[in-house]
Amino acid sequence: MLLSAVQKTTLLDYPGKVATIVFTLGCNLRCRYCHNPEFVLPHEVEKIRPYVIPEAVFFRFLESRKWFLDGVVICGGEPTIQSGLLEFCERIHSMGFLVKLDTNGARPDVLARLLDAGVLDYIAMDVKHAPGKYQNLVGGSKDELRYQESIDLILSRAPDYEFRTTVVRGIHSEADIHAIGERIRGAKRFSLQNFQSGKTLEEDFSWESFSSEELANFHRILEKYVWKVYTRGENEAS
């Protein structure tokens, strides 16, 4: 496992739990609006590789926080490209912690193995765009059916889960929000996040965030399809 960073405590990233976040290095997508290009672009990843956190150091930290933490959030980059992910999750579980995995859904085969092993308690999957519109945004795998397979796996087998989309003015439309909602119809939770300008993988990325009113409209649309919708970023929208 290539561990690039640790956030010692979060009250937001694992619903209802006190958790720590561990970030993995590298990603199999190239989302144009990604705010962490240093964890994604190969030449940037190589700069960080000599400074990755040894697993032994991470597990010593976990041991010291048993009295305080409920779980561990594993995110990236993209964790499912890590060869030791299953064993990593098993060890976290063996210490009595819950495991939440954040994923882009591009590797349903890995998700299936983790679910078979019973090492995931919560999955958060990014739904980048409406069906049929992935490729222009994310690069990476051209087989969009893999993302759809991951959605079905999570809906049918995950112990607990959420789907989430970062919406960007100029990329996502009201029709896209309807299409995303229809694709995950009946899901437990959906997190709607407004794009915030700043450092992005695409250096001249010039799209903007939605207004609070537009975001509220998306929220209402998704409530027609999903049991619970959460919105992040409405106060910062322009």
- Please give the pLDDT value at position 142: 60
Judge whether 151 lies within some domain: yes
pLDDT at 112 over 90: yes
Which residue reads 């150091």 in tokens? 57
CATH number, domain containing residue 179: 3.20.20.70
- How remote is the C-alpha of 202 from its chain's centroid? 19
Q: How many domains does the chain have?
A: 1
pLDDT at 236 over 50: no
Judge whether 199 lies within some domain: yes
Average pLDDT over residues 195-202: 78
- Please give the pLDDT value at position 204: 72
Distances (CA, A) of 154 to 103, 115, 121, 236: 11, 9, 11, 31
Instruction: Work out the burial of residue 214: count CB atoms within 10 Å of its CB; fewer than 13 is exposed, 13-18 middle, 19 or more buried.
Output: middle
The whole-angstrom separation of Cα 26 and Cα 66 is 28
Judge whether 237 lies within some domain: no
Domain range holding 170?
A: 3-232
Instruction: Work out the burial of residue 52: count CB atoms within 10 Å of its CB; fewer than 13 is exposed, 13-18 middle, 19 or more buried.
Output: middle
Average pLDDT over residues 92-103: 97
Residue 50 carries which DSSP code? G
Q: What is the length of the chain?
A: 238
The whole-angstrom separation of Cα 207 and Cα 168 is 7
pLDDT at 140 over 70: no
Taking all residues of the chain, what is their mean pLDDT, rounded to a whole number?
A: 90
The answer to whether the pTM exceeds 0.85 is yes
Judge whether 238 lies within some domain: no
Specify the range with the lowest mean pLDDT, choosing from 82-91, 140-149, 197-206, 225-234: 197-206
Specify the range with the lowest mean pLDDT, choosing from 15-19, 45-49, 66-70, 196-200: 196-200
The whole-angstrom separation of Cα 194 and Cα 212 is 9
